[in-house]
Amino acid sequence: MGEAAKRDDTAHSSVIDFRADPSRYRHWKLAVDGAVATLTMDVDEKGGLLGGYELKLNSYDLGVDIELADAVARLRFEHPQVKVVILKSGKERVFCAGANIRMLASATHAHKVNFCKFTNETRNGIEDASATADQKYLCVVAGTAAGGGYELALACDHIMLVDDGSASVSLPELPLLAVLPGTGGLTRVTDKRKVRRDRADVFCTTEEGVKGKRAVEWRLVDETAARSRLDEAVEARVKALIAQSARGGETGIALTPLKREIAGDRIRYSIVDVDIERESRIATITIRGPETPPPADMDALAKLGADYWPLACARELDDAILHLRLNELEIAAIVFKTLGDADLVQKHDQALSEFAEKFWLAREILAKWKQVLKRIDVTSRSLVALIEPGSCFAGTLAEIAFACDRSYMAIGEFAGDNRPPASLTLHAVNFGRYPMSNGLTRLATRFLGEPASLDAAKTEAGKALDAEEAEALGLVTFALDDIDWEDEVRVFLEERASFSPDGLTGMEANLRFAGPETMETKIFARLTAWQNWIFQRPNAVGPEGALTRYGTGQKPNFDLKRV
């Protein structure tokens, strides 16, 4: 098992670990030369995360993608001077064969869906690096790019295909496996590359894919290059992409390893704690606010690096969410709590917002928070924020409450509790800095049919709102006094744990993304529909299904009824 994706070395030996480091990569090689980075996919066949299969032909599993996600993040934080990333294969005549079929056939349904979700988020991260950090990705396909391999190429800004009569791109999941491209393939073909519907139909039902001139004509790739001129063509395209980038030559910071301790049902980071109540199927994430004021200037911020509270908090929260997704499948609800000084949270938000006008690192920290909040949005658990005395739901941390399905806020002081009454404070970051997948802020989505309510909330920015004020503004679901607090919260959590997990996942996924549809919302919505339905149908995973019989020489036996 790869060190970068190995299971935790604590007592919980079966825990999938999302922490990674380039020195321990088994599947990727990252090289940086000035403004250009080269990310080479060279998958270790013996490095499967779950065991029982070989990762042949650069096929991948979750472990491969954990390393890729880490590399994409490091390119933004550790190598801000990089303007262009060349994504290529380290193997002859193959770019990537996509998700490993043996893994898909043997993995649990929950693992398959969470694997596809994480892979989607990684692809989105590549696109965000281009859109918000001006770090462009050039994919060089010098062989076959099939299924998830082509989906990886689709996430890049520019696709170059070798024109040698054998290199091709394909999405063969339907004819080969009776499933669909689960990491955004069909959506990016139609919505991003604007491939005509009838041509897309031909492409997605052709096992051997499309090559050369036709691939360019159909907009499946951007250009072709003869194998003898490949290096020259790549150099020319890199120069053109560099010319399009406005990134400077800044010095990066090290993304130091996350420190985490798992002891029984408790997970401890430096800022974030996770407590699991297995009998009630509840996980509580508690975030401690900053203890010191923000740095006075950009140099001081850079010196703090990965230890700077907003960045450290975002990284730890991200890891905690991923841990719960993959390793705690029976958790019904995630409860978010905060502890600390709301004024200090606001000061850090304000400092980051001001620094972001001139400083790349501040922009990257804010972008990291945008990514983490989106990760929360698409997490298939019931989400609830408890805004209690002593909490610090302000600005960025308030955004977590707005991401939740419900929020409960305590009125006044509680008997025997000397902490300050609960408050909720809005900041400018709540009104544009952290868009959801639908392109709207969480407050704009919350008040989709109530523009006056959104305007009213804006006028209260900077004010520490008590529970009754927050409820009147529509910012929380319920405001409760200490007499009702414990019973109301308990009843809600017990009720949530009693409902069908499948029904809740469907309901929550529908309710969280009101408003306009975007390529990103389509990808996640279709993932929910495709993977939760098609991946459970006998035609795919039954004893005679296509995934089960793939490679055996036996044809699948389909239930021919259309449903």
Instruction: Mean pLDDT check: name the lowest of 23-32, 59-68, 158-167, 515-524.
Output: 515-524
Q: Name the pLDDT band for 6 (thresholds 50, 70, 90).
A: very low
pLDDT value of residue 501: 93
Scored b (16 or more CB within 10 A) or e, 303-338 reads ebbeebbbbbbbbbbbbbbbbbbbbbeebbbbbbbb
Of the candidates 267, 375, 273, 278, which has an alpha carbon nearest to the alpha carbon of residue 325? Answer: 375
Non-local CB neighbours of 405 within 8 Å, separated by 6+ positions = 382, 383, 384, 508, 511, 512
Using alpha carbons, list the distances in angstroms from residue 403 to 155, 408, 439, 477, 545.
26, 13, 14, 12, 39
pLDDT at 2 over 50: no
**Model confidence at 291, in pLDDT bands (50, 70, 90)?**
very high
Asked if 92 and 379 count as a contact pair (C-beta separation under 8 A), the reply is no
Distances (CA, A) of 456 to 425, 461, 472: 14, 9, 10
**Global confidence as pTM:** 0.94
Band of pLDDT at residue 531, cut at 50, 70 and 90: low
pLDDT of residue 533: 81
| pLDDT digit string, tens, across residues 371-401 | 999 999 999 999 999 999 999 999 999 999 9
Q: Please state the domain extents for the chain.
A: 22-244, 261-511, 519-549
> Among residues of the chain, what percentage have pLDDT more than 70?
97
CATH top class, domain 261-511: alpha beta
For the chain, the first-to-last Cα distance in angstroms comes to 41
Q: Which of 160-164, 478-482, 531-535 has the lowest mean pLDDT?
A: 531-535
Query: What would the pLDDT profile of 215-235 be if each residue is shown by its tens digit?
Result: 999 999 999 999 999 999 999
Q: How confident is the model at residue 10 (pLDDT cuts 50, 70, 90)?
A: very low
Residue 12 has what pLDDT? 38
Q: What is the mean pLDDT of residues 271-296?
A: 97
- Mean pLDDT over each residue of the chain, to the nearest integer: 94
Choice among 4-13, 134-143, 167-176, 357-366 with the minimum mean pLDDT: 4-13
Same topology for domains 22-244 and 261-511, yes or no? yes
Q: In the predicted model, what is the mean pLDDT of residues 129-156?
A: 97
Position 532 pLDDT exceeds 80: no
Position 5 scores a pLDDT of: 37
State mean pLDDT over 491-518.
93
**Closest Cα to residue 177, out of 96, 103, 105, 94?**
105
Predicted confidence band at 241 (pLDDT cuts at 50, 70, 90)?
very high
Q: Quote the CATH superfamily of domain 22-244.
A: 2-enoyl-CoA Hydratase; Chain A, domain 1 (3.90.226.10)
Looking at the predicted structure, is the pLDDT value of residue 3 above 60? no
